[in-house]
Copies of this chain bind each other. A is one copy, B any other.
Amino acid sequence: MLSRIEQICSDKGLKMTDQRRIIAQVLSESIDHPDVDLVYRRATELDPRISIATVYRTLRLFEEANILEKHDFGDGRARYEEASGDHHDHLINIKTGEVVEFYNQEIEAMKQQIAKDLGFELVDHRLELYATPSVSNESPDDDSSF
């Protein structure tokens, strides 16, 4: 069965190779926001006949086809997620690196308004919240090498 992303690729008429299929599958199944190296490791686990250069090339291809979204959470590495159409912002747990997605209609409206007030037309935007879990009865094993 085709992965979600492979289906989109075929709809868009992209030439599909084994490598692209694997990378499409990896990202279809990723619920986190993996960086290039993590995509590469997940991909080679499924099929070792794949190089890091192909991962870079394919991620860029998918991004340019609006199949993936590329993010930069400030650590100098690109991170990817499947494009979902609906815009959302990110909260990054700086203790664990975990990314929580959220959407707030009011904030979106205000972004538009602010750009307009400054005499601009909004093309893109990003809002990232860097935060630590509130002290409460959380599981204490969240802490990692982050």
- How many angstroms from the CA of A127 to the CA of B126 in the assembled complex? 6
Q: How far is the CB of A37 from chain B (nearest CB, A)?
A: 17
A interface size (C-beta, 8 A) = 34
CB of A131 within 8 Å of the partner chain: yes
Whether B120 contacts A131 by the Cβ 8 Å rule is: yes
A contacts with B: majority SS: strand
A residues at B contact (CB < 8 Å) = 72, 74, 91, 93-94, 100, 102, 104, 106-107, 110-111, 114-116, 118-136
Whether A107 contacts B104 by the Cβ 8 Å rule is: no
Q: In the complex, which residue of chain B has the Cβ closest to the Cβ of A106?
A: B110
Q: In the complex, which residue of chain B has the Cβ closest to the Cβ of A94?
A: B123
Name the one of B116, B126, B133 contacting A119, with C-beta atoms under 8 angstroms. Answer: B133
Name the one of B74, B111, B120, B130 contacting A123, with C-beta atoms under 8 angstroms. Answer: B130
A107: chain B residues at CB < 8 Å are 107, 110, 114
Q: How far is the CB of A89 from chain B (nearest CB, A)?
A: 8
